[in-house]
Amino acid sequence: MSEAGDFSGAWVREAAVRIQPLIYRTPVVQWGRFFFKCENLQRGGAFKIRGAANRILSIPKQQLERGVVAFSSGNHAQATAIVAEHLGVQAAIVMPSDAPRAKVEATRERGARIISYDRLTEDREQIAGRILEETGGTLVPPYNHHLIMAGAGTAALELIEDVPGLDALVVCVGGGGFISGCAAIAREMNPAIRVFGAEPERANDVWQSVRAGRRITIPPPDTIADGLRTLSPGVLTFPVIQSLVEEIFLVSEEEILEAMRRVLYRLKLLVEPSGAVSAAAALFGKLPGGLKKVGVLLSGGNVDAELIRNL
Ligand SMILES: *Cc1c(COP(=O)(O)O)cnc(C)c1O
């Protein structure tokens, strides 16, 4: 078992064994030199169940009976609710009042209690803290936890197992749980693999932080990529990003929408805006030259009907 201080690929391998009964091994779809890992087809419609399952399955049974608490704009909420339902425990989820309706409804359908808050004026961690005091439950954070990072990284583990010889990975970045788990296992399996992040121009907290050499906090960002509206990288994810991620690429709102269209028309895959951010970086010439086989993580596919019409 790994020490809490040193996050590594070993955490991801342990996670893969622990969560295997609860998740799908999602397919990989090739388009030219790009290999898309389809986490939009994962249970709950995003990779988030990997981290949520790894965290929740690690809670001792007696403690687990007091329930779990999460805060999320949607996909992590749904993932936590699915795992809680599977294990027969109560989930309380703190969600922003402007979260996509499809995500709120899907979470409610899983029997979770939803606590709504105003993203611009209220602090979701404070609200979650209050619920934890009331219930004695356990927090399932969306990204800043080694078990969450490790669970998320199992997507890259599967991709690298299924597609030998990748020379790079492109992963979208919100709080950085997904990319830090993916980078840790990828670099352990192949020390030469290059790991790139992709972030919306309008939510460039990690891009700024990497340049500044410290965690930068931005005002609540206005981007269509609702899963990437984090204000700063995590205390635990940022050092991993600093040491293992070569570069973060920024994409515009137009590029995100165009990537969604192309992935839908060409690959017949519906990805949500956050999930299209890595595809946008790959498709719109952000990557360095000379890469022959590139793994692109499509992180999720939960889209409101209204956005599909607007596409
Ligand atoms: C949560 C999420 C992300 C960002 O993951 P982080 O671990 O916060 O970086 C990206 N895409 C989708 C679809 C998500 O749900």
**pTM for the structure as a whole:** 0.94
Q: Is 73 labeled as catalytic in the residue annotation?
A: yes
Q: Is the CB of 48 under 6 A from ligand 1?
A: yes
**Residue 28's domain spans which residues?**
4-46+145-310
CA-closest candidate to residue 294, choices 230, 209, 198, 220: 198
Q: Name the least confident of 106-120, 139-153, 238-252.
A: 106-120
Residue 45 CA, ligand 1 centroid: distance in Å: 12
180 pLDDT band, cuts 50/70/90, is very high
Q: Are residues 67 and 191 in the same domain?
A: no
Q: Are residues 192 and 287 in the same domain?
A: yes
How many structural domains is the chain composed of?
A: 2
Q: Is the CB of 72 under 6 A from ligand 1?
A: no
What are the residues facing 243 on neighbouring strands?
A: none
Q: Are residues 181 and 302 in the same domain?
A: yes
Q: Are residues 97 and 197 in the same domain?
A: no
Q: Are residues 233 and 94 in the same domain?
A: no
Give the pLDDT score at 124. 87
Residue 253 CA, ligand 1 centroid: distance in Å: 17
- Examine the pLDDT at 271 and tell me if it is beyond 90: yes
Residue 48 CA, ligand 1 centroid: distance in Å: 7
Say which CATH number the domain at 279 has.
3.40.50.1100
Residue finishing a domain among 139, 172, 187: 139
